[in-house]
């Protein structure tokens, strides 16, 4: 049994939950403790007690701990990648890549612990000096989704610790394995007891307790829009700081002058890899008239060759969907699109078993054409390997369609026109813009986040992470 980590100790929970492999539902990865309200409150109390000392720990102490954690994650990337692929269903190379990203994030924030910054400037009054410094916010509740089981926890935990905050981490119910492995590494890293706590369990119980406890100064949340709205309402109600990273309906424009192979590579990568289960996935392809038919034909050609199979098998391009409920949602949206008059150009079938006969949540990637902007498939996030195509007359119409969405996370364009690429970078209503690159797949040392319904509050990652995890103090001194 894998236990919760509270106040520096491993503790059983009142309940347990089974972690199942979506590539083979007969394979039980392990049984993981499930915290209840009381155990979550104990973790909050431990973090609260640890905060005064940890917030004053030296940059060297924080650097050493984060750097050591990053080193261990990188050394163990293959083994941790196996576990991640087994519990979440992304392919082994993708999973190993995600683990490596987590390792580099710890190393990046180890460095940031040494560079807290600050300003010293003269006052407008004679003889007075002004200092502007950043101080740790307090105890932070971290609530994460299932689709990046180690990278998203890493990009919240590492800055929280680097800037002197204490952490109560609640991972998604479907992927406790990677969260537990990360907690186990941190449990041996030299962190004082209570600085980092792991509480696995349900959102409505563990998550809601974090939202409502006055000892938790901030909530960093990544997940769906409806849950994000609950987080916001609870935090505003008690004046806690919060940041939200939520869904997307990310467009990728393909212009007539695009290099076809570049456009297809970008669309296949960010539409279908990681089973389309990325908040930055290109789920709407907006294609101009002159290239539309060639592009769709080339996409279908590529999709026919994609292997949907066990996430850990060599040669698999697309692993399974994460669970039965997500699979049901993906299938439902293919049906909705067809019922609304769109064409299923390729794929979309649920495949019950892989070639070895393993029962899993397999689904062939789906390409849906002849869609209109008002169709639900173009307005709502599916979060699976389902991509729609919209036809546009020209660049101007394509840009208008790209921005015609309640979301604003990532936006991409495939073009060889410097003029259109430059215009698009300025006018795309999104937090991240990609030119001739997949909308999914970003660097770990620069800010990540979106606009409109996709995000709320300060950006995550890179130096910009300091904005959420610290609070600014302005001190005046009369000499
Ligand atoms: P989800 O909203 O169902 O769950 C996210 C987390 O919130 C989980 O840990 C869950 O247990 C918890 N939770 C649920 N109810 C809660 C409550 N009442 N109070 C507190 N916590 C609660 O999302 P998911 O299905 O795990 O993840 C998929 C979603 O995440 C998609 O919408 C995707 O776009 C989004 N996502 C966004 C980003 C980004 O950075 N923008 C990255 C990855 C995923």
Residues 100 and 30 in one domain: yes
pLDDT, one tens digit per residue, over 280-310 is 999 999 999 999 999 999 999 999 999 999 9
Minimum CA distance residue for ligand 1 atom 42: 279
* Token reading at 383: 């979060």
Residue 479 has pLDDT above 90, yes or no: no
- C-alpha angle 161-164-170 in degrees, rounded to nearest 5: 45
- Would you say residue 382 lies in a domain? yes
Domain that holds residue 231: 4-246+454-478
Ligand 1: which of 179, 221, 223 to mutate, judged by most atoms within 8 Å of the beta carbon?
223
pLDDT, one tens digit per residue, over 126-162 is 999 999 999 999 999 999 999 999 999 999 999 999 9
The mean pLDDT of 205-229, rounded to a whole number, is: 98
Residues 198 and 273 in one domain: no
Minimum CA distance residue for ligand 1 atom 22: 203
Residues 103 and 142 in one domain: yes
pLDDT score of 190:
96
How far, CA to CA in Å, does 263 sit from each of 270, 298, 302, 401?
11, 10, 12, 18
- Would you say residue 449 lies in a domain? no
Minimum CA distance residue for ligand 1 atom 32: 224
Residues 164 and 313 in one domain: no
- Would you say residue 313 lies in a domain? yes
Residues 112 and 191 in one domain: yes
Beta strands in 61-138 (DSSP E): 119-122, 128-136
**Beta-bridge partners for 476:** 130
pLDDT score of 458:
97
Cα of 178 vs centre of ligand 1, distance in Å, is 16
- Would you say residue 271 lies in a domain? yes
- Would you say residue 43 lies in a domain? yes
Who lines ligand 1 at CB under 6 A? 143-148, 170, 172-173, 203-204, 207-208, 211, 222-224, 227, 230, 245-248, 279, 381, 383, 409, 454
pLDDT, one tens digit per residue, over 46-97 is 999 999 999 999 999 999 999 999 999 999 999 999 999 999 999 999 999 9
The mean pLDDT of 451-466, rounded to a whole number, is: 97
Residues 176 and 291 in one domain: no
User: CA 250 to CA 378: how far, in whole Å?
Assistant: 10
- Would you say residue 445 lies in a domain? no
Residues 239 and 342 in one domain: no
Parallel/antiparallel/unpaired status of strands 9-11 and 4-6? antiparallel
How far, CA to CA in Å, does 180 sit from each of 152, 169, 261?
14, 10, 41
Residues 199 and 311 in one domain: no
Residues 173 and 237 in one domain: yes
Please list the alpha-helical segments (H only) found in 238-316: 260-272, 289-304
Predicted TM-score (pTM) above 0.85: yes
Cα of 207 vs centre of ligand 1, distance in Å, is 11
465 pLDDT band, cuts 50/70/90, is very high
Nearest ligand 1 atom to the CA of 210 is 20
Would you say 346 and 305 are in contact if contact means Cβ atoms under 8 Å apart?
Answer: no
Residue 172 has pLDDT above 90, yes or no: yes
Beta strands in 359-420 (DSSP E): 359-363, 366-369, 386-392, 407-408, 410-414
Nearest ligand 1 atom to the CA of 409 is 41
Cα of 227 vs centre of ligand 1, distance in Å, is 6
The mean pLDDT of 176-193, rounded to a whole number, is: 98
Element (H, E) at 311: none
Residues 212 and 315 in one domain: no
Residues 458 and 423 in one domain: no
- Would you say residue 319 lies in a domain? yes
Domain containing 358 — which CATH number?
Answer: 3.40.309.10
User: CB under 8 Å to 237, separation ≥6 — which residues?
Assistant: none
Count of domains forming the chain: 2
Shortest CA distance to 142 belongs to which of 239, 207, 69? 207
Cα of 268 vs centre of ligand 1, distance in Å, is 25
pLDDT score of 224:
97
Q: Tell me the catalytic residues.
A: 245, 279
User: CA 29 to CA 25: how far, in whole Å?
Assistant: 10
Residues 153 and 273 in one domain: no
- Would you say residue 443 lies in a domain? no
Minimum CA distance residue for ligand 1 atom 16: 203
Mean pLDDT of the chain: 98
Nearest ligand 1 atom to the CA of 172 is 9
Domain containing 133 — which CATH number?
Answer: 3.40.605.10
User: CB under 8 Å to 453, separation ≥6 — which residues?
Assistant: 225, 246, 247, 406, 407, 408
Cα of 224 vs centre of ligand 1, distance in Å, is 4
Would you say 449 and 455 are in contact if contact means Cβ atoms under 8 Å apart?
Answer: yes
Cα of 463 vs centre of ligand 1, distance in Å, is 24
* Token reading at 223: 């997940």
- C-alpha angle 350-352-356 in degrees, rounded to nearest 5: 130
* Token reading at 274: 């990681």
Cα-Cα-Cα-Cα torsion 332, 336, 338, 343, nearest 10 degrees, comes to -90
In three state form, how does the secondary structure of 320-371 look?
Answer: CCCCHHHHHHHHHHHHHHHHCCCEEEECCCEEEECCCCCEEEEECCEEEECC
Minimum CA distance residue for ligand 1 atom 35: 223
Ligand 1: which of 224, 242, 329 to mutate, judged by most atoms within 8 Å of the beta carbon?
224
Rounded to an integer, what is the distance from CA 94 to the centroid of its chain? 14
How far, CA to CA in Å, does 258 sit from each of 245, 250, 279, 296, 413?
31, 19, 25, 14, 9
* Token reading at 284: 């709407």
Radius of gyration of the chain (CA): 23
């Amino acid at each position: 049994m894998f236990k919760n980590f509270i106040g520096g100790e491993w503790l059983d929970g009142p309940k347990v939950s089974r972690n199942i492999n979506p590539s083979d539902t007969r394979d039980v990865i392990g049984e993981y403790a499930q915290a209840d309200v009381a155990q979550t409150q104990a973790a909050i109390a431990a973090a609260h007690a640890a905060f005064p000392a940890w917030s004053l720990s030296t940059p060297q102490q924080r650097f050493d701990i984060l750097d050591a954690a990053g080193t261990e994650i990188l050394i163990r990337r293959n083994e941790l990648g196996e576990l991640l692929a087994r519990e979440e269903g992304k392919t082994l190379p993708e999973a190993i890549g995600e683990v490596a990203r987590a390792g580099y994030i710890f190393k990046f924030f180890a460095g940031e612990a040494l560079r807290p910054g600050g300003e010293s400037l003269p006052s407008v009054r004679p003889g007075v000096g002004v200092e502007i410094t950043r101080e740790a916010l307090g105890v932070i509740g971290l609530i994460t989704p299932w689709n990046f089981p180690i990278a998203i926890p890493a990009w919240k935990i590492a800055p929280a610790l680097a800037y002197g905050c204490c952490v109560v981490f609640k991972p998604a119910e479907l992927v406790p394995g990677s969260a537990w492995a990360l907690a186990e590494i941190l449990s041996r890293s030299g962190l004082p007891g209570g600085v980092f706590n792991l509480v696995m369990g349900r959102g409505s119980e563990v998550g809601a307790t974090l939202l409502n406890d006055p000892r938790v100064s901030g909530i960093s949340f990544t997940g769906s829009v409806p849950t994000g709205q609950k987080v916001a309402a609870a935090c505003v109600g008690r004046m806690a700081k919060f940041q939200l990273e939520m869904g997307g309906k990310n467009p990728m424009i393909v212009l007539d002058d695009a290099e076809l192979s570049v456009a297809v590579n970008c669309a296949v990568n960010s539409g279908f890899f990681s089973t389309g289960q990325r908040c930055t996935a290109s789920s709407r392809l907006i294609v101009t008239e002159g290239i539309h038919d060639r592009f769709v034909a080339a996409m279908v050609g590529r999709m026919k060759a994609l292997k949907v199979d066990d996430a850990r098998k060599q040669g698999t391009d697309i692993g399974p969907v994460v669970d039965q409920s997500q699979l049901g949602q993906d299938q439902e949206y293919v049906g909705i699109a067809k019922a609304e008059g769109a064409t299923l150009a390729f794929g979309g079938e649920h495949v019950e078993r892989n070639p070895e006969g393993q029962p899993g949540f397999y689904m062939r990637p789906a390409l849906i054409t002849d869609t209109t902007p008002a169709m639900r498939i173009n307005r709502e996030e599916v979060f699976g390997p389902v991509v729609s195509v919209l036809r546009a007359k020209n660049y101007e119409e394509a840009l208008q369609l790209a921005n015609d969405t309640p979301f604003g996370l990532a936006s991409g364009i495939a073009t060889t026109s410097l003029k259109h690429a430059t215009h698009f970078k300025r006018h795309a209503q999104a937090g991240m813009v990609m030119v001739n690159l997949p909308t999914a797949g970003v660097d770990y040392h620069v800010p990540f986040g979106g606009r409109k319904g996709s995000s709320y509050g300060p950006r995550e990652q890179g130096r910009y992470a300091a904005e959420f995890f610290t609070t600014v103090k302005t001190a005046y001194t009369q000499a």
